[in-house]
Amino acid sequence: MVEIRLTNTRTRRKEAFTPIDPRNVRLYLCGPTVYDRAHLGNARPVLVFDVLVRLLRHVYGADHVTYVRNFTDVDDKINARAAATGRTIREITEETVAWYHQDMDALGAARPDHEPRATEYIVQMVAMIETLIANGNAYEAEGHVLFDVRSFPEYGRLSGRSVDDMIAGARVEVAPFKRDPMDFVLWKPSEADQPGWDSPWGRGRPGWHIECSAMSAALLGPSFDIHGGGIDLQFPHHENEVAQSCCAHPEAGFANVWLHNEMLQVEGKKMSKSLGNFFTVRDLLDKGVPGEVIRFVMLSTHYRKPMDWTETKAKEAERHLENWFFALVQAGYSKSMVETLKNGGVWRPLDAVVNALANDLNTPGAIAALHDVTLGGSAVQSAPFAASLEMLGFVPDWDEIGSFARVGVGSVGEHPARDRVAALLLDRQEAKRVKNFQKADEIRNHLQRAGVEVRDTPGGGWTFELGPDFDEAVLDDLGRP
RNA sequence: GGCGGGUUGGCGGAGAGGUUACGCAGCGGAUUGCAAAUCCGUGAAGACCGGUUCGAUUCCGGUACCCGCCUCCA
């Protein structure tokens, strides 16, 4: 069996991964607070975990992995959005969840096995808070329930901080009812116009961190294998989760392995609204950047390094994917072909790809291994390469690869000019057949001027692509001397 | 102030204490009516200073610069 090695934030080392139960490997990823479209940075942990889950399913079996990713649908940001727009919280969260699904689907990220919503686990949260109070780890004060960080000696270990150091450098105003400035809220009172639930401490709502502790325990148990998220969540979110979960379940270990991805930048700078380089996944998709391209760029940088999104990378990524898919189309790939190959027992990803992924999810290494493959052989010969692409999640639908590769006529897009371009190319094909190369080149030059990129294929065929500066008006000049 | 990450060839980006990463661009060649694509080959690196070692870009220490977190942003 392939040994998977992962860098564990908890121990700051790369360690061999050993599941608690190989028949049920359990993972939890902190999902979004649903008040707005997912931005590009939100996609990174999703894709990292998507690859991780694919790897785990490959190694331990498809039915032996349980992947949970939550929706936090109770939060003051949501309340603020509702107040600002006059819409109900329910409308906003429902809409945002649907958007999230669309956008992550477009990136080829498989849906988790469970997508619990915080509002469906209020009972479990209240119960956990009661346990924490009973265990002496939390206290009630002025309608709030707070976690007592001094009651948990390990507090700060995950993020490598000490409570005293943090207090020394703290820049936050401290609520007067806190015993310690670092104590954090488990439950807080709600005004009449705020969402709230009845509790032993009056009508209120949960604090930010408790939902993940409650939902992971409910769906995965108090001890599970891998917990992840962006490095910015390491503190305070994950630190607080550890405190809550370990104190509520002193007998359990909570998450064995903590995985944190580094942040995303855009053209070398932090993505922020003030710099004007902030964009969502949807913005990119609407701009015509395919989800596979976004995925490719994301996976081109190791998850533990800052990743820089640039136009150049997106273009390079698109080029590679086009060439790869083009080669597979020529080798006869389709959904039914892949079925046949799978039944034929030749559907095995390349060892080099699996080994790279097993080595702390070295996705750039896996992609490099794909570059080493010589394409152009038969479908069977290409199977390990194709299976590797699938393992990396680049192929949501084998029947669609032709359209990505932009092969032939009518197989792509709906642009009304396609038929006209195709007709001209048929003329050119005829001109080439009779060796009238002057005319053939003329047609190609005209098409180029209109922004159409033409490629000849062996045997006198061709493919074309409408470039970004395609101008149908120029087509009207075609054929004139 | 505290904590963490980074610094590799023109650009992007990995692994490994000693042997070619890989991709893009460049150069040479094959192929092609010409292009494009593809294929083969090829030059180019490890921020700075010290230490450990037979040998370090890879380990250790220090310096510089960049970035992030400590403010319910993945």
Domains, chain A, in order of start with CATH, read 5-265 (3.40.50.620), 288-410 (no CATH), 413-477 (no CATH)
Tell me whether residue A439 is annotated as binding.
Answer: no
Q: Which nucleotide is nearest to A270 (CA to C1')?
A: B67
pLDDT at position A166 is 73
Closest listed residue to residue A409, CA positions, set A451, A332, A449, A466? A466
pLDDT at position A332 is 84
Q: Which nucleotide is nearest to A75 (CA to C1')?
A: B72
Report CA(A359)–C1'(B50) in Å, whole number: 33
In angstroms, the Cα distances linking A329 to A357, A383, A400, A403, A456 are 26, 12, 10, 10, 15
A203 secondary structure, DSSP code: S
pLDDT at position A175 is 74
Report CA(A356)–C1'(B58) in Å, whole number: 18
Q: Residue A210: what residue type?
A: I
Give the pLDDT confidence of A118-174 residue by residue, as tens digits. 999 999 999 999 999 999 999 998 889 999 998 998 888 888 877 877 776 555 556
pLDDT at position A361 is 92
Report CA(A448)–C1'(B46) in Å, whole number: 43
Looking at per-residue confidence, does A162 or A17 come out higher? A17
What own/partner pairs with CB < 8 Å and gap ≥ 24 does A285-292 have? A285/A103, A285/A106, A288/A468, A289/A314, A289/A318, A290/A318, A290/A321, A290/A404, A291/A106, A291/A107, A291/A108, A291/A396, A292/A108, A292/A321, A292/A394, A292/A396, A292/A404
Q: Which nucleotide is nearest to A363 (CA to C1')?
A: B14
Tell me whether residue A241 is annotated as binding.
Answer: yes
Report CA(A6)–C1'(B7) in Å, whole number: 24
Q: Which nucleotide is nearest to A362 (CA to C1')?
A: B14
Q: Which nucleotide is nearest to A230 (CA to C1')?
A: B74
Q: Among the listed ranges A26-30, A54-58, A61-65, A310-314, which one has the minimum average pLDDT value?
A: A310-314
Q: DSSP letters along A24-79, please?
A: SEEEEE---BSSS--BHHHHHHHHHHHHHHHHHHHHH-GGGEEEEE-BB---HHHH
Supply the ipTM of this predicted assembly. Answer: 0.86
pLDDT at position A279 is 84
> If pLDDT is split at 50, 70 and 90, which confidence band does A14 have?
confident
Residues A321, A296: contact at Cβ < 8 Å?
A: yes
> Which stretches of A135-208 are DSSP H helices?
163-168
Residues 6+ apart with CB under 8 A from A52: A27, A226, A228, A259, A361
Tell me whether residue A101 is annotated as binding.
Answer: no
> If pLDDT is split at 50, 70 and 90, which confidence band does A409 have?
very low
Give the pLDDT confidence of A462-477 residue by residue, as tens digits. 777 776 667 777 776 6
Report CA(A359)–C1'(B17) in Å, whole number: 19
pLDDT at position A459 is 65
Give the angle A310-A315-A321 at the CA atoms, nearest 5°. Answer: 125
Kind of pairing between the strands at A204-206 and A184-189: antiparallel
Q: What percent of chain A has pLDDT over 70?
A: 92
Mean pLDDT of chain A: 86
Average pLDDT over residues A23-41: 92
Residues A115, A70: contact at Cβ < 8 Å?
A: yes
Give the pLDDT confidence of A216-250 residue by residue, as tens digits. 999 999 999 999 998 888 888 999 999 999 999 99
Q: What percent of chain A has pLDDT over 90?
A: 45
Give the pLDDT confidence of A356-397 residue by residue, as tens digits. 999 999 999 999 999 888 777 788 888 999 999 999 999 888
pLDDT at position A255 is 92
Report CA(A158)–C1'(B64) in Å, whole number: 30
Tell me whether residue A237 is annotated as binding.
Answer: yes
Kind of pairing between the strands at A269-270 and A452-456: unpaired
pLDDT at position A172 is 55
Q: Is the predicted pLDDT of residue A413 greater than 60, yes or no?
A: no
Give the angle A348-A407-A344 at the CA atoms, nearest 5°. Answer: 25
Tell me whether residue A273 is annotated as binding.
Answer: yes
pLDDT at position A468 is 61
Name residue A67's beta-bridge partners: A27
Protein-proximal positions, strand B, CB < 7 A: 1-6, 11-16, 21-24, 32-40, 67-74
pLDDT at position A462 is 75
Give the pLDDT confidence of A280-305 residue by residue, as tens digits. 899 989 888 889 999 999 999 899 88
